[in-house]
Amino acid sequence: MHLAKLSLAHVKKKVTIMSAEQKIAAGLAGIITGRSSICEVDEENCELYYRGYSILDLAEHSNFEEVAYLLLKGELPEKKNLGEFQNKLSEEREIPHKVDEVLKGLSAKTDPMDVLKIAVGILHTVDPDASSNEEEANIRKAIRLIAKIPTIITDNFHFSHGNEPVKPNPHLSLAENFLYMLKGKEPEAFESSALEKSLILYAEHELNASTFAARVVVSTLSDMHSGIIAAIGALKGPLHGGANERAMEMLLEIEEPEKAESWIKDALLQKKRIMGFGHRVYKKMDPRNPVIKKISKELGARNENSKWFEISEIIEKIIDREKGLHPNLDFYSSSAYYLLGIPIPLYTPIFVASRVTGWVAHVMEQYCDNRLIRPRAEYTGEKKREYVPIEDR
């Protein structure tokens, strides 16, 4: 008994010493909170890998459905497996009537990201696997979410403009089908290719805020849909999502390449934040930027409208020279999406349509080796105060 008490006292003392020596990492910067086999961010060499495959190779040679399969199942599919996976996604594109009815009843001014949170919540209520966290059930739910979120985005867009939505085309790829549902006509091959590459680039990025939010939620053994709703809520915040929207609004305000240099210099003097630059992890270069920059340039040339790319290049050079900051994925994706005819309020929802593949992969990984995520905080409030009855205060 005496030895047990002594050991316990020793442990308590050790814990106290360790706590005193711990350093606080604001925002958990640089803190390793767990292990993952999904995505490797090599900040030193400015490289990014999905399941060991370079993002550059995937963007150049793969397609979005194949990347989604890789993220979900850990390996690139054989031709037969990919065909079956694509068919499952195509079969699940239509959204339940119950969801469309709710979307119709929402104000046209409802933020599209709030619409997605609402819609995913309703999907949970009608999903036959809603209450199961078994692996196969979660894969089925993941496929439904990946397939239905693009339809939710376009249906809501049409409803908010007083129009009926365009039904999904099961014979088109996910990227082709998104542009088809948005515009009502099948896209040119170069258009769908541009969108597809951007979806691959946005699909996954380790423990960013939204992914971490999803993992925190499901670490309580809550359901996949709840985790995805939390992730969407995190992505809605301007410090995580929305930079491509703000970047395009900036380009539209500048309007002409001749005005770019003076506009940016004036903005810097006023200490305005230039959206689409810098990254929490990458300090040298975002490895995804060269790919999306090339896409933006090619779209400008094909549309005989290169001014947005020219303005962007001027801004990039000035920000590099004045601030030492480099563009992230959001900066050139803004002009790429604009040239694809995608409305600006849909840029962040498209981020969701892509990143949901990474989110569901992380949700399933969390379930496989779960431990409740429960960090600690350093207390900075008042110490040991005496309670005073209300009549004596």
The residues that are catalytic are: 279, 330
For the record, the structure tokens of 84 come out as 């079956």
Greatest Cα pair distance in the chain: 84
User: Where are the alpha helices (H) located in 127-277, listed in sequence order?
Assistant: 135-160, 174-183, 189-202, 209-218, 224-236, 243-254, 257-269
Q: Is 332 exposed, middle or buried (0-12, 13-18, 19+ CB in 10 A)?
A: buried
Q: Is 156 exposed, middle or buried (0-12, 13-18, 19+ CB in 10 A)?
A: buried
The Cα–Cα gap between 124 and 142 comes to 12
For the record, the structure tokens of 83 come out as 């065909």
Which run of H or E residues covers position 312? helix 307-323
For the record, the structure tokens of 284 come out as 């040298």
Give the distance from CA 77 to its chain's centroid. 24
Q: What are phi and psi of 40, to 5 degrees?
A: -115, 120
The Cα–Cα gap between 122 and 110 comes to 16
